[in-house]
Chain A
Amino acid sequence: GESVGLHLPTLSVQEGDNSIINCAYSNSASDYFIWYKQESGKGPQFIIDIRSNMDKRQGQRVTVLLNKTVKHLSLQIAATQPGDSAVYFCAENIADSWGKFQFGAGTQVVVTP
């Protein structure tokens, strides 16, 4: 399944399938991006980050893709598991504002058996 970003806040994925979560960021001057996972009743948890000098970065079962031309960020989760059910936020650094980030609205991922 694929989310088209902020306009589709819920992504339903079958267990074992790959998930793609999209994020459109706002500022072309942003040069650092983070994906967080937030489970119900918990704080956001860091998943993966990417700097603007890269267009792809891989972690364990996750890949982040960055397309600076269209200001688009995506998170791919391979072989989605029930434990991946959560809200996923992208965050971009705020240019000229040290250590501050703008969070996207979030995408709720629901993994079905």
Chain B
Amino acid sequence: DAMVIQNPRYQVTQFGKPVTLSCSQTLNHNVMYWYQQKSSQAPKLLFHYYDKDFNNEADTPDNFQSRRPNTSFCFLDIRSPGLGDAAMYLCATSSGTTDGNQPQHFGDGTRLSIL
């Protein structure tokens, strides 16, 4: 089945130690998103790619970076994780259309813990 796959499902890192989360998709969608979701809250958009065009949210900390080497893969890099960065990180994709109004397909997320 076509899907969005996130690895790992659970990630533990130390305070200040860089960490990379991965997302791959078999949907061949040209738009990929990264969201942060804290407990009992809605997903919060960090950034998204339309093809290779990167779009950062104004309130996304500089500590968060992303890479998209090809259509299928997208990475979230957290350069110096703080305790406040402990959260679920969700990757999503959507097919690009002229109006952008398409459902997003989510992976099952990576739960990040900071020691």
On A, residues with C-beta under 8 Å from B are 9, 31-32, 34, 36, 41-46, 49, 51, 89, 93, 98-101, 103-106
Nearest B residue (CB) for A35: B103
On B, residues with C-beta under 8 Å from A are 4, 6, 31, 40-43, 45, 48, 50, 90, 92, 94, 96, 99-109
How many A-B pairs have beta carbons closer than 8 Å: the answer is 56
A49-B109 contact given A44-B43, A89-B42, A105-B42, CB 8 Å threshold: no
CA distance A101 to B4 in the complex (A): 19
Nearest A residue (CB) for B94: A99
A45-B96 contact given A31-B101, A99-B50, A104-B42, CB 8 Å threshold: no
A45-B106 contact given A31-B101, A99-B31, CB 8 Å threshold: yes
A43-B90 contact given A49-B103, A93-B101, A103-B43, CB 8 Å threshold: yes
Q: Shortest beta-carbon distance, B101 to chain A, in Å?
A: 4
CA distance A89 to B104 in the complex (A): 13
